Amino acid sequence: MGKTFSKKHLAYVLLFALLAGAILLLTAWRSGAFYLRETILSPDGTVRASVYERPFPWSTTPDGPEEDVPTTSVAFNCDLRGGTSNFPNTTYVGAWWSPDSRKFLLQMDTLSDSAIGMELINFDRNSSTAFSSTIPVAMTRAGLCGAGIPEKGGIGIVDLTFLQWHENSNAIQFRYAFTDVEGEDFNGTFWYGFDGFIGGVTDIVPD
């Protein structure tokens, strides 16, 4: 009897371990742990940003199921900004905290009919701003557009590379590159300041 009980006991233990492992794997999958690209701690050490890149169902068709598309997601472990921000048809490039830990810049390559995606998440305003849309407009206002910045999907096509945050956390220096509507190339750097919702391009240094 003792031998039989021992075998049954071992079988129950193994079954429980398998079930527990399956539950842990399912929990990890649902949390996005398998798709985690980067975890970035704010400079003051109080907020952790977790960036994921995963397939996500965004569209439906009358004749078929939802279509999974590559999606960049960012989640914060704090109450300053609730939920997860999702950006479909994108792949993750990089992200950078402002010095005051109140703003978070996320850059993505877009796979849809639009320019490179660059999103500023502002904790003070609990909002986000699509820099990929606002910066080409600000460049045109500053005269940095040549014969005109070409558009794709209603957004100016400009290749922006993050360089650094200003120490006041209200401006970012970028490297820019674009080809105007007449085929002339423009390259250089500028500062993009954003006091509130309206931003401006200053300190332009062409190559």
Is the model more confident about 21 or about 87? 87
- SS3 (DSSP) at 188: strand
- Each residue of 10-26: pLDDT tens digit? 666 666 555 554 454 44
Statement to judge: residues 7 and 71 lie in one domain: no
pTM for this one?
0.72
Is residue 74 scored above 80 in pLDDT?
Answer: no
Work out the mean pLDDT of the chain and round it to a whole number: 76
**Cβ-proximal residues to 64 (8 Å cutoff; 6+ apart), any chain:** none
pLDDT of residue 163: 95
Statement to judge: residues 26 and 39 lie in one domain: no
Q: What is the mean pLDDT of residues 84-96?
A: 80
Is residue 158 scored above 80 in pLDDT?
Answer: yes
Statement to judge: residues 23 and 100 lie in one domain: no
Determine the structural domain holding residue 17 and report its residue range: 1-31
Statement to judge: residues 21 and 63 lie in one domain: no
Statement to judge: residues 42 and 11 lie in one domain: no
Nearest to 149 by CA among 109, 108, 184: 184
Number of structural domains (the chain) is: 2
Banded model confidence at residue 117, pLDDT cuts 50, 70, 90: confident
For the record, the structure tokens of 92 come out as 């993750």
